[in-house]
Structure 1
Amino acid sequence: MVDTNQPDRYTREIVGRAAKTAVKSVAKKAVKALAKKLLVILGPWLLLFLFLVMSVTVFFGMTYSAMPTEQAVNRETVTAEDAASIEKIRNLVNEANRKHLYVVNSQPSRPLYPSEYAGKLSGFTDRYGQDVQLQLEWGVAQALALFQTIAENGDRITDEMREQFVKDLEPYFYYRPSKVYVTTTTETGGSQTSVQEVHLLVESNTLYGWRQYEYEWVTEQLDENTSIRYERLKNIRTLEQWTRLDNAIKNYLKPRDAEDLALMRTAVLENARAYSRKAENMDWLLQYADAAEYLSGATVPPELTGFFREAEKQYGIPWWFLAAVSFKESGFNPQAENESSGAYGLMQLLPENWARVSRTLGFDPQADRDNPRAQILAGAYMLYHFGLKSVDWTADDSVWQKATLPVLKVYGGFVHVPVAKRVLYGDDPLKWAEAEYAGPIWKMAVQLRDGSISGGGVWPVSGSTRITGYFGEDRGSYIHKGLDIAAPEGTPVLSVSGGIVTHVGWENPRDHSQGFGMYITVRDNNNLYFYGHLQAESPTVRKGDTVQPGQRIAAVGNTGRSTGPHLDIRIKNLQTNAWIDPLLVLTQK
């Protein structure tokens, strides 16, 4: 990896990694155009990059599974000097990520950046995990340093270069305190309320841009006796986009024009992913290619669920249908971009449609380009006016599916059947659209609709909503990353989502009193679900099994390091590799 004395070897290795990453994003990146442009900008060092990218792109379907793992690639090339250099830049980035974590008292009426405040936090604490998604990754600084070295025809990447890029891109986060109230009505008619103190991100200034976050108070029912009141993410507004990263590129890499700048930005981010990301969802998604099989309400990112429901109220299109369209179009990625058409965001609106519809809905086409609420409402607006306003969603599935087909044909851009596909579909765009676009959306929509009663995840403990430990609690030697739900031993534990069982067993088979005792993990397209302290012989599933939302998988126990019968439910976002508050997934109604 990092070899400060042998740039040739280092460049070859990183080019190979970048090529592998580029292959995985070929559907949304103009890889060949990028490589060709970079040849002009950065010179002959990238000839190998172009060759590798074009080669493996052509043979992607045949060769991806045969590619060596990152560990195998690194085993022959990593030296002690490499490891020390990587450790140094990681430490720099970790320090930078925690340098500007400020607590403010209220929602800002004006931008806070670059102000500094006395109240500071020691780590990322946003309840929605926005800070984790926006943190600086060491690969960004390393990629910038690499490209600067190549552009200047240098012979090594220096510590000073890395330190400068980290300093230029260190993120700023501003939080305010909030609370989550869980109220339970007792058998005698009284009520008990527990309070969880949390922090909400209100402003961020990072390499991705300058953003502000708005919230609204909502009350939802966990069951007939228990309600939860909290502040739900309402809006994300972008004040500036890419400013700090673009400034660094302009200062050090000297792009000739806006097109060069955009291509350099893409190159930096793709190389950063090649450096930094160790967990790849691509392997899992290829192994379990039918993604719709594992979709449920829990799969929808919690920060988006409220926006889908708002669109449902406004346009009468069910949240589960809108979410299925979004998943098909973008995989729930607000920054997904089709390089050939320019379609962008969660609902993949074309630039001309976005400019018109966003203004119609009162949004700013530039400032709200990355605003997920604006993207979802704009997509729903277009679907409504394309013809979904007349669909009877209470009818049998075959009826509403038939009614939505012409709309999806237009929305998906299925106009003229390509010559290569006419052997399958003739000259019938409807047949083409149904097979490759509408059909998958219908399947995902039904899965989302039937995955849970009202959206969100299934409550995991049958008959009990008594919370005895919250996510984010400071327990002295550690921060609690789960939600503790107390219940008698033997109470059924239900799967929050659909998915694949990835573990069943003891944390320490030789000592059942350690750690989480008996535990199960399940994963779907976006999350890993962890169920701890289960009853010893209670699991009803095995590793590799497919489970459905609400399916019994085990029973509440008291195994491991536990002070009483309870379930410790934890949820990890696999895109950010960060644990999230389970209540966000379990209460999105």
Structure 2
Amino acid sequence: MNENDLMEKFKRLGAALAKKGGKYLLKILAPYLPVIGFVLFVILLIVGLIGAVYSALPNTEGSNRQVGILADANISSQDEEMYKEYKELVNKYNVEDTWVVNELANTPGCDGCEESSLVSPFYPGTGVVNLNRFADRYGSDQKLKLLWSQVHAADLYRAYSLGEVKIEPKVMDKTAKDLHPYYYYKKSVVVACGKEGCETSEVYLLVEAYTIEGHFQYHYQWTTKYGNEGESTTFEELVSTKQILPNKWQRLEDWMVKEYKVTDNVEDIALARTGVWEAAQGFYNKKEWMDWLSSSGGYTYSWISGAMVPAELVPFFEKAADKYGIPVWFLEAIALMESSFNVTAENTTTGCYGLMQVSPDNWKKYAPELGYDVVADKDNPEAQIMVGAFMLYEQGLKGVDWDSPKWKEQTLDVLTFYGGFRGKGAKEECRDKYASVIWAYADQFKNAKVGWPAPTCTEISSPFGWRSHPITGEYKFHEGIDIPADCGEPVVSISGGMAYTGNSSGSGNYVVVKDGTYEYWYLHLSEQTVVSGQQVVPGQEVGKVGDTGASKGCHLHFSVYPLDSSEAIDPLLILGR
């Protein structure tokens, strides 16, 4: 069956679902939604699931606010306008409750200070001050932000449930406000020491998040990392993420029962919630994928490097590698292949979940064996990685000689089983569709190590965090690190990706490199040695140290931003690996 036939089949299915009702939507669609690659995922999910939801909605002809935004293959100007409205709403409400819970920064040695507990959560309280911005050093808050697509999907379901012909602005606003997250932070410090002494900066760490995806608590412990030339960084490292609700979806489901005036039947509520959630992911993936295609110029293995592994996951990959003898770079390759480093990734057909896509049965069996709680640790990245690594170890990776050039062939049998390939020709099918990709990822993670953006200078003159601006004297947040170096010294990309160049009064000449996880910003350059649209590899020169823009002396300002976010994370989380 070709793609056009599939599209037509799903359009007909959508019309049939309009007659049958939304209750059976996911049950009928489930067999058609295997995870068989991101592009095909977008085609099937957008045309199937979202098309079905859309076709089940009331006729909106003549309405100035059509409810079918992004439901078909083309995005209209009307869709774009509605998309902008949703973006403005979530940008507003995502930071409405961002509370600092302590007045003084923690000092090294105070493990667990100002953290919430199961019996004493911060929600629904407030705190010392409301930041009105994302602030977590690791960017964990941004991963749980309310998406415009989630608000839109909830509004679509409302229109369907209540027979409304359009989505009014007041409904959009109410939904965004009702579903917005609550964040609680503690002040902490990062102490960076080098040959010239130590710099202490104040940062914030997320200790609790109450969201429509669950109620999470975060725990840290003090650690010190050492560099190659005697540098050290002392900070609080994330060691645990706990989800404390027996049903992580309780908040969203309670809201749906109240807002949609639906039955209190548990199965029906869960089905409705899943429908809204899957539609939301479909809307979001389609928009982001189309934006990516229009700007990226394509994606190649050469973009992959150690820099794109989310900073908060690195300690857990290292812990698993130490315990089971499986290299960090191989575990990272498995996680990239299985989940794209998404802690909440779920295969709707098999139920496999998390970074390592562990099946429900295996999770229930092995999580307790390794000391993790089946419910509370379901979204704990450490638990997901440790369980996945344990399974890979037990299935045969314990016998691999990782220093041998034959390590790839030695892992094939395990990858065939872990990837779910069965029957005649399974091994070769795995090699072609699964193992070869993992091996390519692993080679990149192994060889494309994270470097330093200004190779001739490893000192930091101004760290990430709150500081007095060197020119204005204003006390404000510094969204990166400053590295002093002579003008004209090389600046290199710490990652692979697509380069973009520009100039502004504040940043001067700058280069941005974008991979699949982060944007890396190199500012105040005297010269840009790449052009916009150029693909770069790790270690490639992208510019020269300069003193352009709002600068006071030759230096490089380096910042790291998670994709689709305006809030930076601490670059040392990546550079300190």
| Fold match by TM threshold 0.5 | yes
**Separation in 2 of the partners of 1:138 and 1:43?**
20
Counterpart position of 1:207? 212
Indicate yes or no: 2:438 matched with 1:441: yes
Contact 1:222–1:465, Cα closer than 8 Å, also in 2: no
Matches within 5 A, 1:344-355: 344-355=353-364
Counterpart position of 2:28? none
TM-score, scaled to structure 2: 0.80
Q: Cα gap change, 1:97/1:260 in structure 2, threshold over 3 Å: closer, same or farther? A: farther
**Separation in 2 of the partners of 1:129 and 1:349?**
25
Contact 1:38–1:264, Cα closer than 8 Å, also in 2: no
Which residue, out of 260, 265, 269, partners 2:273? 265
Indicate yes or no: 2:490 matched with 1:517: no
1:310, distance to aligned residue in structure 2 (A)? 0.7
Q: Cα gap change, 1:208/1:26 in structure 2, threshold over 3 Å: closer, same or farther? A: farther
SS at match of 2:244: strand
SS at match of 1:223: coil
Indicate yes or no: 2:397 matched with 1:400: no
Matches within 5 A, 1:44-83: 68=74, 70=75, 73-74=76-77
Q: Cα gap change, 1:32/1:264 in structure 2, threshold over 3 Å: closer, same or farther? A: farther
Q: Which runs of 5+ in 2 are unaligned?
A: 1-34, 61-65, 103-112
Which residue, out of 513, 530, 533, partners 2:521? 530
SS at match of 2:466: coil
Counterpart position of 2:453? 460
Q: Deviations over 1:364-403 (max 9, x none)?
A: 112211111111111000000011111111222xx11111
Give me the CA root mean square deviation: 3.5
1:433, distance to aligned residue in structure 2 (A)? 1.0
Indicate yes or no: 2:291 matched with 1:298: no
Contact 2:139–2:562, Cα closer than 8 Å, also in 1: no
**Separation in 2 of the partners of 1:354 and 1:77?**
41
**Separation in 2 of the partners of 1:289 and 1:76?**
25
Q: Cα gap change, 1:478/1:432 in structure 2, threshold over 3 Å: closer, same or farther? A: same
Between 518-527 and 276-285, report the one with greater CA deviation: 276-285
Counterpart position of 2:229? 224
Which residue, out of 337, 340, 346, partners 1:331? 340
Counterpart position of 1:116? 126
Indicate yes or no: 2:146 matched with 1:131: no
Contact 1:176–1:200, Cα closer than 8 Å, also in 2: yes
1:303, distance to aligned residue in structure 2 (A)? 0.9
Indicate yes or no: 2:288 matched with 1:280: yes
What amino acid maps onto 1:570 in structure 2? S
**Separation in 2 of the partners of 1:113 and 1:75?**
38
1:175, distance to aligned residue in structure 2 (A)? 1.0
Which residue, out of 509, 526, 529, partners 1:540? 529
Contact 1:96–1:171, Cα closer than 8 Å, also in 2: yes
1:304, distance to aligned residue in structure 2 (A)? 0.8
**Separation in 1 of the partners of 2:38 and 2:301?**
20
Contact 1:345–1:370, Cα closer than 8 Å, also in 2: yes
Contact 1:295–1:447, Cα closer than 8 Å, also in 2: yes
Q: Cα gap change, 1:158/1:30 in structure 2, threshold over 3 Å: closer, same or farther? A: closer
Counterpart position of 2:162? 152
What amino acid maps onto 1:182 in structure 2? A
Contact 1:388–1:404, Cα closer than 8 Å, also in 2: yes
Q: Cα gap change, 1:273/1:552 in structure 2, threshold over 3 Å: closer, same or farther? A: same
Contact 1:336–1:346, Cα closer than 8 Å, also in 2: yes
1:521, distance to aligned residue in structure 2 (A)? 1.8
Counterpart position of 2:92? 94
SS at match of 2:445: helix
Q: Cα gap change, 1:218/1:292 in structure 2, threshold over 3 Å: closer, same or farther? A: farther
Indicate yes or no: 2:232 matched with 1:243: no
Counterpart position of 2:189? 179
Between 284-293 and 111-120, report the one with greater CA deviation: 284-293
What amino acid maps onto 1:534 in structure 2? L
1:177, distance to aligned residue in structure 2 (A)? 1.2
Q: Report the number of matched residues.
A: 517
Q: Deviations over 1:194-225 (max 9, x none)?
A: 10110101111111110000112222123313
Q: Cα gap change, 1:49/1:388 in structure 2, threshold over 3 Å: closer, same or farther? A: farther
What amino acid maps onto 2:77 in structure 1? N
Contact 1:249–1:255, Cα closer than 8 Å, also in 2: no
What amino acid maps onto 1:242 in structure 2? W
Indicate yes or no: 2:115 matched with 1:107: yes
TM-score, scaled to structure 1: 0.79
SS at match of 1:321: helix
**Separation in 2 of the partners of 1:175 and 1:76?**
36
Q: Deviations over 1:102-150 (max 9, x none)?
A: 3236122432222233343332211111222223345544443342233
Counterpart position of 2:463? 470
Contact 1:101–1:123, Cα closer than 8 Å, also in 2: no
Counterpart position of 1:583? 572
**Separation in 2 of the partners of 1:481 and 1:77?**
30
**Separation in 1 of the partners of 2:268 and 2:48?**
11
1:573, distance to aligned residue in structure 2 (A)? 1.2
**Separation in 2 of the partners of 1:26 and 1:247?**
33
- Give the fraction of aligned pairs with identical amino acids, expressed as a percent: 36
